[in-house]
Amino acid sequence: MSVFSALLRIALLALLVTFIAAPQVFAPVFEPLTSHGAPAIYNQGSLVALTLSHLWTVFVATLGSIVVAVSLGIFVTRPSGLEFLPLSRTIVNVGQTFPPVAVLAIAVPLVGFGEAPTLIALFLYGLLPIFENTLTGLTQVSPLTLDAARGMGMNARRRLVEIELPLALPVILAGIRLSLVINLSTATIGSTVAAKGLGEVIIAGLQSNNTAFVVQGGLVVAMLAFFIHDAFRLIERRAGRYQSAQASA
Amino acid sequence: MSRAGLSLDRLGGVIAILIAAAIILGPFSIYRANRIASGDARGIMFALPSAFAIGLMVLSMAIALVSAFVRALAARLAAAAFGMIAVFVAMGRSADFLTPAGNSFARVSPAWGFWLLSFAFALLVADALTRLRFGPWERLAALAVAAITLALLLGSGAWNNVSILKEYATRADSFWREARQHIVLALGSLSASVLVGIPLGILCHRIPAIKSAVLQTLNVIQTIPSIALFGMLMAPLAYLAATFPLAATLGIHGIGAAPAFVALFLYSLLPVVANTVVGLDQVSPKVIDAARGMGLSSRQRLQQVEFPLAFPTILTGIRIVLVQNIGLATVAALIGGGGFGTFVFQGAGQTALDLVLLGAIPTVLLAFAGAVILDALVDLAKGARA
């Protein structure tokens, strides 16, 4: 990463943190987006609290997706689970045609308003990209490598932990990144069913016809997504580099 | 793999357990005195006339056995498809059976036993289809058969007493209006993004200097949450409508379909542009050299060589956009843009599951059909290239 882009990222991050901590400072920037003397900065709650609960919801849901999706991915690529592999691929393909909004809305009548339907929807929707990438990552490990590991006397468990998972790691991480970014965005829709999060800011803006709120909420979520995306790309590259270093050693 | 006629299929075994759980443990339908009253769940024996209930249980157990022990794929597919039709007919019959005569407030909706049974049969169908490795034409034919069966089932009135169709009956007009709106939003923005995205992709391929800037901008747009982007576009479009009367007469307003259309268009650009670039970048330099050697001009090379070779990859991008747009168009309802989301959000607001499903099920079916059709087209395009 060049010095310039690193500086740009640090500056953006500082801007984001300042905005969340002290949004009033930016009132003049958002003033032109309001009309009839409406407030320029969201005033119905603390942005810090909303950001934290937004991130917490996404984090908990995605953590659940990671545990379940990676375990399932490992299971269907073992000899004992191979029979389930073709069908799992089909399920992933079909599952991804489900719009996240639909999953969210179906959960509401079943579990009521609040955090629960959002968590369920994010968890379910997050499963698919992680599962798909775990499958891709684990099935693309070359049979030659596995043979060599077997030849070195590694048992199935050590082959999985020391060879297959590390080799699949960058692809799995890419799946987690995709889930996180989608979930950050979907979690805003959770606010329509009374989950606490940055969606509240956007919806308050839509209800009071105040574009300043909509832009604020949207920008904070977009910047959070941007930084998470960026951080993961960095980790994925590290993981990839570690791999090639291992391969050449 | 043993080719014996009767050996335990482990996946089929799991499906058989699901089927057994659904019919033994699961309530088949829920009876409610009105659309938002709390429900009274009925097992199969109490949800259907006895002869019908016993028939359904025997049939389901038979399919469970086929699933666990029969290896012949055609037989598995036929059994699963038959089971699927039977369980849907049974649901309609259950609604007729449980609804008291002349009572228009009572609602009978599918309970989890029904959903689990349908899911198990759908898994069996999906598994058989996956293992049969159908080609693109066969997949399209299977989709058409499924669509016709569904249309016949709904058209025959067999499901008229089921709660979802009761929600539909009171909203038949608005349902088709929102359906049209949903399709216009999803497909219209897709067409616009193809018209703009492919030339933009070609430009990015030709001029590497702008490539990363364009792709990064589009990447950032994708991370903006949908309701925020919809909301943000309301302001400039409202301004446009207020400033230029022509814009307003063209139907451009701050609230409604216009911001949703523009937002969907913006989201669609990334997959189209990125896949166009990747597709063109993949064309081997040798092929281009050969084309140059044959005296083809730059434009002819693009039209006759590069674009056809990149086409399957571009089509894959269009498939992503189509599925994504059909899903995202539901969010348009939040800003007055219409579409199936209208029912989804209304239903979520009233915690009326039937109304949510009236919006969600058509959306999922549309997205699913779109994915199958585009996947088949991608395979056909690849086949034509080979």
What is the torsion angle, in degrees rounded to the nearest 10, for the CA atoms of residue A111, residue A116, residue A122 and residue A125?
-20
Number of domains in chain B: 2
* Coil/strand/helix, residue B3: coil
Share of chain B above pLDDT 90, in %: 52
Q: Which CATH superfamily is domain A3-16+39-248 in?
A: MetI-like (1.10.3720.10)
Q: Is the same domain home to B368 and B230? A: yes
> Which among B326, B334, B347 has the least Cβ separation from residue A206?
B334
When pLDDT is averaged across residues A33-47 and rounded to a whole number, the result is: 81
Quick check: B23 pLDDT over 70? yes
Contact A109 B348 (CB under 8 A): yes
Give me the pLDDT at residue B6, please. Answer: 57
Contact B367 A211 (CB under 8 A): no
Quick check: B251 pLDDT over 80? no
Query: Between the ranges A20-34, A37-51, B177-191, B293-307, where is the mean pLDDT highest?
Result: B177-191
The answer to whether A129 faces chain B, any CB pair under 8 Å, is no
Give me the pLDDT at residue B11, please. Answer: 86
Q: Is the same domain home to B27 and B131? A: yes
Q: How confident is the model at residue B191 (pLDDT cuts 50, 70, 90)?
A: very high
**Residue of A50, A101, A177, A191 to mutate, testing the B interface (most B Cβ within 10 Å of its Cβ):** A101
Provide CB contacts within 8 A for A185, sequence distance 6+: A221, A225, B223, B224, B225, B226
Q: Is the same domain home to B41 and B84? A: yes
Q: How confident is the model at residue A249 (pLDDT cuts 50, 70, 90)?
A: low
Greatest pairwise CA separation for chain A in angstroms: 76
Share of chain B above pLDDT 70, in %: 94
Provide CB contacts within 8 A for A93, sequence distance 6+: B371
User: DSSP state, A2?
Assistant: -
> Considering the domain boundaries, does residue B3 fall inside one?
no
Q: How confident is the model at residue B137 (pLDDT cuts 50, 70, 90)?
A: very high
Q: Is the same domain home to B137 and B15? A: yes
- CATH code at B198? 1.10.3720.10
Chain B CB contacts of A203 below 8 Å: 227
> Which among B126, B331, B344 has the least Cβ separation from residue A87?
B126
Among the candidates B136, B162, B188, a domain finishes at B162
When pLDDT is averaged across residues B282-291 and rounded to a whole number, the result is: 89
> Considering the domain boundaries, does residue B338 fall inside one?
yes
- Range 26-55 of A in CB contact (< 8 A) with B: 33
Quick check: A106 pLDDT over 90? no
Q: Is the same domain home to B317 and B243? A: yes
Give me the pLDDT at residue B363, please. Answer: 94
Q: Which pair of tokens denotes residue B139?
A: 């997949």
> Which among B10, B335, B351 has the least Cβ separation from residue A108?
B351
> Considering the domain boundaries, does residue B378 fall inside one?
yes
Domain extent for B333: 172-385
Q: Is the same domain home to B220 and B335? A: yes
Quick check: A131 pLDDT over 90? yes
> Considering the domain boundaries, does residue B128 fall inside one?
yes
Give me the pLDDT at residue B246, please. Answer: 66
Burial code of A151-186, b = ≥16 C-beta within 10 A, e = fewer?
eeebeeeebbeebbbebbbbbbbbbbbbbbbbbbbb
When pLDDT is averaged across residues A140-148 and rounded to a whole number, the result is: 89
* Coil/strand/helix, residue B110: strand
What is the torsion angle, in degrees rounded to the nearest 10, for the CA atoms of residue A16, residue A17, residue A18 and residue A21?
120
**Residue of A87, A98, A200 to mutate, testing the B interface (most B Cβ within 10 Å of its Cβ):** A87
Q: Is the same domain home to B99 and B186? A: no
Query: Between the ranges A28-32, A55-59, A204-208, where is the mean pLDDT highest?
Result: A55-59
Tell me: the pLDDT tens digits for A209-241? 788 888 888 889 888 988 998 888 888 888 887
Alpha-helical (H) ranges within chain B are: 10-24, 44-47, 50-69, 73-98, 112-132, 136-155, 163-170, 172-206, 208-223, 226-243, 245-249, 257-282, 285-293, 298-301, 307-328, 341-349, 353-385
Q: Is the same domain home to B360 and B379? A: yes
Quick check: B2 pLDDT over 60? no
When pLDDT is averaged across residues B283-290 and rounded to a whole number, the result is: 89
Query: Closest Cα of chain A to B288: distance in Å?
Result: 30
Give me the pLDDT at residue B114, please. Answer: 94
When pLDDT is averaged across residues B303-326 and rounded to a whole number, the result is: 91
Q: Is the same domain home to B345 and B229? A: yes
Q: How confident is the model at residue B1 (pLDDT cuts 50, 70, 90)?
A: very low
Provide CB contacts within 8 A for B43, sequence distance 6+: B26, B27, B28, B113
Q: Is the same domain home to B185 and B311? A: yes
Give me the pLDDT at residue B4, please. Answer: 46
Q: What is the mean pLDDT of chain B?
A: 88
A-chain residue closest to B133, CA distance: A86
**How big is the A-B interface in CB pairs under 8 Å?**
154
> Considering the domain boundaries, does residue B275 fall inside one?
yes
Tell me: the pLDDT tens digits for B63-97? 999 999 888 999 999 999 999 999 999 999 999 99
Q: Is the same domain home to B321 and B196? A: yes
When pLDDT is averaged across residues B193-206 and rounded to a whole number, the result is: 94
Q: Which residue's entry shows tokens 């359906």? A: B179
Tell me: the pLDDT tens digits for B95-123? 999 988 878 788 898 999 999 999 999 99
Quick check: B385 pLDDT over 80? no
Contact A109 B353 (CB under 8 A): yes
Share of chain A above pLDDT 90, in %: 28
Give me the pLDDT at residue B221, please. Answer: 85
| Positive or negative: CA dihedral A147, A152, A155, A161 | negative
Contact A90 B127 (CB under 8 A): yes
> Which among A84, A211, A229 has the least Cβ separation from residue B235?
A211
The answer to whether A214 faces chain B, any CB pair under 8 Å, is yes
Complex ipTM value: 0.81
Q: How confident is the model at residue B3 (pLDDT cuts 50, 70, 90)?
A: very low
Contact B235 A33 (CB under 8 A): yes
Q: Is the same domain home to B24 and B60? A: yes
**Residue of A97, A181, A223 to mutate, testing the B interface (most B Cβ within 10 Å of its Cβ):** A97
